[in-house]
């Protein structure tokens, strides 16, 4: 299931991450350091050279207090329990 998930994530998924970063004034460098992700992760995702792992998606969702479904564009509601 993980394999399929990584290849079915919408291309605009990175836009959700960038929007969350922008809203909180978080740089890519700060996010990757705080989440212990590779320094180039955000750049690689933006360029389409890589996709975030399930672990990375969970870390980002937890960091911004949003659902993974929101990041994956399965909902427009960022709230976890609504």
Residue partners of 18: CB distance under 8 A and separation at least 6? 46
Round to whole Å and give the CA distance between 66 and 63: 8
pLDDT exceeds cutoff 80 at 23: yes
Average pLDDT, the chain: 85
pLDDT of 2 higher than 50: no
User: What percent of the chain stands above pLDDT 90?
Assistant: 59
Whether the model pTM is above 0.85: no
Q: Quick check: 7 pLDDT over 80?
A: no
Average pLDDT over residues 31-42: 95
């Amino acid at each position: 299931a993980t394999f399929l998930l990584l290849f079915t994530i919408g291309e605009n998924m990175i836009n959700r991450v960038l929007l969350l970063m922008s809203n909180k004034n978080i740089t890519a460098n700060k996010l990757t350091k705080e989440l212990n992700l590779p320094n180039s992760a955000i750049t690689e995702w933006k360029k389409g050279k890589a996709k975030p792992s399930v672990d990375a998606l969970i870390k980002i969702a937890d960091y911004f207090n949003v659902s993974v479904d929101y990041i994956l564009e399965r909902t427009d509601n960022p709230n976890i329990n609504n």
